[in-house]
């Protein structure tokens, strides 16, 4: 956004006819909000407030860039929200841990449902990768991808399924969104760059699933009771 300040401002001004000042203010707020939220998350300071701020930025972008009417981009933005939900759940568990090394009897319900919501929303990213053609590779990819998505969503063999999706999504991302192979002056360069880094964010959310597990509302957790 910093290096394309003019293009971002002109797009907002043209789309919403809001004028130079308001368009510039929106781009500045967007940039500042993302930078502040990310710095707070990475430094582990005020993580919950940072997550809520980033939720607001995602919602703002969804409306401002007309993502609401593009199903593919909307599903990807929702997947980003899923990653933030998982991060918020992780930060809650840190904040509630009063005694290191002492196990608790059960997790708080809000955290469990945040993890469930995060898992389900992350799955939406993979729905945008499904292809409705009859080639052998596409059929295999759709079957395997759908099976892994279901496993993550219901929380069965969650860590293994999430790790497999991380590897698969990373490989697909490098192959499909190779923006570095497109000259910078072509519009496709920007689209691919946007998709590449958004997909990397979702991979980060899946790595949280691998690290933290599916949470209480999952088949993996219910198996412990059986």
Q: Where are the domains of the chain?
A: 123-215
Residue percentage of the chain with pLDDT more than 70: 91
pLDDT band at 105; cut points 50, 70, 90: very low
Torsion of CA 54, 55, 57, 60, to 10 degrees: 180
pLDDT at 190 (0 to 100)? 85
When the pLDDT of each residue in the chain is averaged and rounded to a whole number, the result is 85
> Is residue 104 scored above 60 in pLDDT?
no
pLDDT at 95 (0 to 100)? 52
pLDDT digits (tens, 9 = 90+) for 160-203: 999 998 998 899 889 888 999 999 888 888 888 988 998 898 89
> Is residue 98 scored above 80 in pLDDT?
no
CA of 34: how far to CAs of 13, 39, 41, 58, in Å? 21, 9, 11, 9
Reduced 3-state DSSP string for 87-148: HHHHHHHHHHCCCCCCCCCCCCHHHHHHHHHHHHHHHHHHHCCCCCCCCHHHHHHHHHHHHH
> Is residue 94 scored above 60 in pLDDT?
no
Within the chain, where are the H helices? 5-16, 20-43, 47-64, 71-96, 109-127, 136-154, 158-176, 187-212, 219-225
pLDDT at 102 (0 to 100)? 44
In sequence order, which residues have a C-beta less than 8 Å from that of residue 161 and are 6 or more positions away?
148, 151, 152
- Return the number of other C-beta atoms located less than 10 Å from residue 87's C-beta: 22
The mean pLDDT value for 33-57 works out to 94
CA of 77: how far to CAs of 9, 59, 99, in Å? 21, 9, 36
- Could you tell me which residue, 41 or 195, shows the higher pLDDT? 41
pLDDT band at 225; cut points 50, 70, 90: low
pLDDT band at 57; cut points 50, 70, 90: very high
CA angle in degrees (0–180, nearest 5) for 105-106-111: 150
- Could you tell me which residue, 69 or 42, shows the higher pLDDT? 42
Q: Which of 6-20, 116-130, 160-174 has the lowest mean pLDDT?
A: 116-130
**29 contacts 55 by C-beta, under 8 angstroms:** no
In sequence order, which residues have a C-beta less than 8 Å from that of residue 29 and are 6 or more positions away?
60
pTM > 0.85: no
**124 contacts 76 by C-beta, under 8 angstroms:** yes
pLDDT at 207 (0 to 100)? 92
Q: Which of 76-80, 81-85, 97-101, 140-144 has the lowest mean pLDDT?
A: 97-101
């Amino acid at each position: 956004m910093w290096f394309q300040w003019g293009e971002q401002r002109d797009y907002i001004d043209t789309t919403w006819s809001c004028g130079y000042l308001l368009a510039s203010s929106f781009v500045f707020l967007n940039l500042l909000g993302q930078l502040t939220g990310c710095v707070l998350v990475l430094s582990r300071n005020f993580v919950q407030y940072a997550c809520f701020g980033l939720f607001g930025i995602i919602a703002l972008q969804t409306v401002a860039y007309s993502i609401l009417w593009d199903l593919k981009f909307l599903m990807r933005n929702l997947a980003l929200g899923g990653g933030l939900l998982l991060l918020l759940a992780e930060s809650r568990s840190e904040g509630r841990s009063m005694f290191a090394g002492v196990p608790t009897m059960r997790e708080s319900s809000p955290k469990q449902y945040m993890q469930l919501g995060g898992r389900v929303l992350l799955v939406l990213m993979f729905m945008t990768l499904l292809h409705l053609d009859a080639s052998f590779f596409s059929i295999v990819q759709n079957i395997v991808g759908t099976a892994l998505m279901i496993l993550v969503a219901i929380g069965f063999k969650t860590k293994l399924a999430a790790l497999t999706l991380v590897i698969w999504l990373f490989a697909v991302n490098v192959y499909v969104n190779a923006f570095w192979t497109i000259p910078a002056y072509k519009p496709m360069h920007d689209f691919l760059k946007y998709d590449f880094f958004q997909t990397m964010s979702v991979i980060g959310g899946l790595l949280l699933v691998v690290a933290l597990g599916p949470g209480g509302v999952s088949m993996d957790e219910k198996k412990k009771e059986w």
